[in-house]
Amino acid sequence: MSLSETPHVGLGSALRHDLDAIKGKWLWLMVVGIALIILGMITLGSPVIGTAAVVWTVGIMLIVSGILQTVAAFWTREWSGFFVVLLLGILYFVAGLFTLRKPDQAATSLTLLIGSFMLIGGIFKIAAALAHRVPNWGWVLLSGLLSTALGFYIWSDFQEFTPFLLGTLLGVDMIFNGWMWVALSLTLKRITSRVSHRLDNLARNP
């Protein structure tokens, strides 16, 4: 075997290893995908509960982050940035406590934050589409217009969106992720035998 052929054999071995690692897992990936889809549909059916779950998750993450940063600050107390890291840790911790103690106000703040991202992101998309006119720029422009309109709508009446927006977004995200896992599992099931056959031919005829 020549040196020029060696990379092909190595690539074939790597692909075979990956396939051997995941080819028996396609069913489990499908189960995960279906479970996420079901959970997403349940969340969409009860978006208020989904919103509460998002708020509590954010609060817990902020508290944990604050504790970790505070501990890290004391571990590196000889560092000149000690007080900055310590202050950030305290702020994260306090923000987490506020989120858990005042979930309604936290949900309102997160709703406004999402509305801001949509509004600003939509404006940037519109500007980029009109300035560069890349292929299919019309779709980018349409996406920007829709994001801007939705962001403005959320800002104009955010109290109406506060109880269910976060839960709705969580449900949609779980459904999309679920379909992604289902599609991946079906793809793995379909191509595993085909690719394995080609790798066998490659190994026999390097």
Give me 6's structure tokens: 């060696």
pLDDT score recorded for residue 94: 92
**pLDDT at residue 63, as a whole number:** 93
Q: Would you state the pLDDT for residue 9? A: 45
Q: What is the pLDDT of residue 11?
A: 44
**Element (DSSP H or E) covering residue 184:** helix 165-204
Q: At what angle do helices 165-204 and 47-75 cross, to 10 degrees?
A: 70
Helix (H, G, I), strand (E, B) or coil at 38: helix
Report pLDDT for 129. 84
- 112: closest CA among 146, 71, 176, 156? 156
**What is the predicted pLDDT for the residue at 6?**
43
List per-residue pLDDT tens for the chain, 206 residues long: 444 444 444 445 655 555 555 556 677 888 888 998 998 898 888 888 888 888 898 899 999 998 988 888 888 767 767 788 889 889 989 989 998 998 888 888 888 888 888 889 889 989 988 887 777 778 888 888 988 888 888 888 777 777 778 888 888 888 888 888 888 788 777 766 565 556 555 555 55
Whether the Cβ atoms of residue 151 and residue 120 lie closer than 8 Å to each other? yes
Instruction: Report yes or no on whether pTM surpasses 0.85.
Output: no
What's the distance, CA 131 to chain centroid?
A: 29
Instruction: Give the pLDDT score at 1.
Output: 43
